[in-house]
Amino acid sequence: MTEGKTVATAMIGAAAFLLALMPAAHAAQCGNGPGGFEAWKREFSAEAQGKGIGQTAIAALMQTNYASATINADRSQHSFSLSLEQFLAKRGATTIVARGRSLKQSQAAMFASIEQRYGVPPGPLIAIWGMETGFGSQRGNQNMLSSIATLAYDCRRPEFFTEQLYAALKLVDRGVLSGSTRGSMHGEVGQTQFMPKNILAYGTGNLDVAANALSSTANFLKANGWRAGAGYQPGEPNFAAIQAWNAAGVYQKAIALMGRQIDGGGGAAAR
């Protein structure tokens, strides 16, 4: 071995030794209460800046508060454990179908345009619209960014909500959302309640406007396999797209059933 190689080998060994002594880089640590939230925000902000998130979004993130109401709601989603009949009654399915049929007629041109573009008929879109926000009347009044940041910090599902938080920060940087945007308990916004990642992927304009929200929902369903003209009841081709919208089985069946009734298919609650 030459002298040059010996020196180089020694330098590499020394560098490796120094690296071993340095603390390993790690992601911001999750928590199960408000105590560590401020420290977590500082750590997460540094990581986000390193990934290209701009100062506008970082400043908005640093203004967020620990959302106790969001955590409480996340721990108590009992309605998804109800039977289909109980779920339909609790969510006011009869009212949604009656109002939905009226809106299908009064907004026929809008729904025809959406169906022509995306292949999704009015029924399931109207059912989602009614189920999510009562046709825009209940869009939530929680600070969107605080809700999502709290859930990204919380140890229950940090991976899922960390992705949502990065998407939300990108939308704040772009001016699509802001640090004062209001939404539902888990950070959903707009007439049909979109999460930030889905806004980035499927959003078509201001989602507080019904036409944009419904078009975005149809865009989501089409991207998740919706085929024009195919059925959307359980076991039919388009039911998988409804399953992609919401993971709860009772919710999926309710949307399919109400959608069929709105589209004129009739039928009582499934047994």
pLDDT by residue (tens digit) across 128-170? 999 999 999 999 999 999 999 999 999 999 999 999 999 999 9
Closest CA to 195 of 151, 239, 256, 138: 151
Domains of the chain: 36-75+140-183 (no CATH), 84-139+191-263 (1.10.530.10)
Question: How many C-alpha atoms does 3 have within 13 Å on its Cβ side?
Answer: 0
The two most distant CA atoms of the chain are separated, in Å, by 88
Counting residues of the chain whose pLDDT is more than 70, the rounded percentage is 87
Condensed to tens digits (0 to 9), the pLDDT of residues 216-225 reads 999 999 999 9
Higher-confidence position of 255 and 7? 255
Q: Is residue 214 scored above 90 in pLDDT? A: yes
Condensed to tens digits (0 to 9), the pLDDT of residues 42-88 reads 999 999 999 999 999 999 999 999 999 999 998 886 777 899 999 99
Supply the pLDDT for residue 16.
Answer: 44
- Please give the Cα distance from 129 to 117 (Å, whole number): 19
Closest CA to 255 of 133, 140, 139, 123: 123
Region 99-125: mean pLDDT is: 98
Helices (H), 154-209: 158-174, 196-202
Supply the pLDDT for residue 266.
Answer: 54
- Residue with the two structure tokens 């603390």: 23
Supply the pLDDT for residue 12.
Answer: 43
Supply the pLDDT for residue 26.
Answer: 47
Question: How many C-alpha atoms does 209 have within 13 Å on its Cβ side?
Answer: 9
Taking a C-beta distance cutoff of 8 angstroms, is the pair 202, 220 a contact? yes
Closest CA to 52 of 222, 192, 166: 166
Taking a C-beta distance cutoff of 8 angstroms, is the pair 87, 250 a contact? yes
What would the two tokens of residue 153 be? Answer: 């910090």
Closest CA to 72 of 196, 189, 185, 195: 185
C-alpha dist (Å) from residue 44 to 26, 34, 82, 195: 10, 15, 37, 20
Radius of gyration of the chain (CA): 24
What would the two tokens of residue 91 be? Answer: 């969510």
Taking a C-beta distance cutoff of 8 angstroms, is the pair 71, 156 a contact? no
